[in-house]
Copies of this chain bind each other. A is one copy, B any other.
Amino acid sequence: MKRSSIKHRAILDAAIEVADRDGYASTTIEAIAAVAGVGKQTIYRWWPSKSALFIEVYEDLVDRRLLTARTGNLSSELTELLQNLFRIYRQTPAGRVLVGLVAEASANADIRNVLSAGIVAGRAEIVTDLVRKHAPPIVGELPGIDPEIVNEVLVALVWKRLAIAPDRLDDEAAAEIAGIALAAARREGVL
């Protein structure tokens, strides 16, 4: 349906605009509807809640813009990936949206599942693929890097810093976080 998809886009854009202006928590469905030039019901027709809408908003913001790094060693590519992500967080409300979503996830199992399946697991392979491309898997007694751990530490640190010190997500932080995540995942081989 053409008409629907125009509205759909208008609602996402309005949500981004209002979240940017008012912050995630202060964003109301009413305000989004008004900015989108749409009735409240039209939003509820497609999304059951603010959170559901913003999960899509987050994916929209990040997917549209997150360019994967191309060359270099593991550490530099990971750093570049984070730098791109942090740039998005600085230029759009994506970071604040993410924290808001994590916040609501804590109170609502449905959102928790969608968030964990969508944003966490869904995006995990970007990182794990990157790791696997560069580092040999852990086989037997040989040392290696566990891609899952890289991803979990990465996600955890980004969330924590978004929540506690959202202003300090700059290029330097990206390198620091990448370093910590890689160190955390390095497994020594048994000699």
Could you list which residues of chain A lie within 8 angstroms of chain B, going by C-beta atoms?
A: 23-26, 96, 99-100, 102-108, 112, 115-116, 120, 149, 152-153, 155-157, 159-160, 162-166, 180-181, 183-187
> Are B99 and A25 in touch, CB under 8 angstroms?
no
* Complex copy number for this chain: 4
Can you list 18 pairs linking A and B with CB atoms under 8 Å apart? A25-B107, A25-B108, A26-B107, A100-B106, A102-B102, A102-B103, A102-B163, A103-B106, A103-B107, A115-B164, A116-B165, A149-B180, A152-B180, A156-B156, A156-B159, A183-B184, A183-B187, A184-B184
**Which B residues are CB-close (under 8 A) to A100?**
103, 106-107
Considering the complex, give the chain B residue whose CB is closest to the CB of A97.
B106
Q: Which of A108, A156, A184 has the most CB atoms of chain B within a 10 A radius of its CB?
A: A156
Known: A164-B115, A165-B116. A184 touches B103 (CB 8 A): no
> Are B160 and A155 in touch, CB under 8 angstroms?
yes
User: How many angstroms between the C-alpha atoms of A100 and B107 in the bound complex?
Assistant: 7
Query: Taking chain A's interface residues, is the majority helix, strand, or loop, or is none over half, making it mixed?
Result: helix
**Which B residues are CB-close (under 8 A) to A23?**
107
Q: Could you say which of B106, B116, B187 contacts A24, with CB atoms under 8 Å apart?
A: B106
Given contacts A96-B106, A115-B164, A181-B184, 15 further A-B contacts (CB under 8 A): A25-B104, A25-B107, A25-B108, A26-B107, A100-B103, A103-B103, A103-B106, A106-B166, A116-B164, A116-B165, A153-B153, A153-B157, A160-B160, A183-B183, A183-B187
> Are B159 and A160 in touch, CB under 8 angstroms?
yes
Nearest Cβ distance between residue A157 and chain B, in whole angstroms?
5
User: How many angstroms between the C-alpha atoms of A153 and B164 in the bound complex?
Assistant: 14
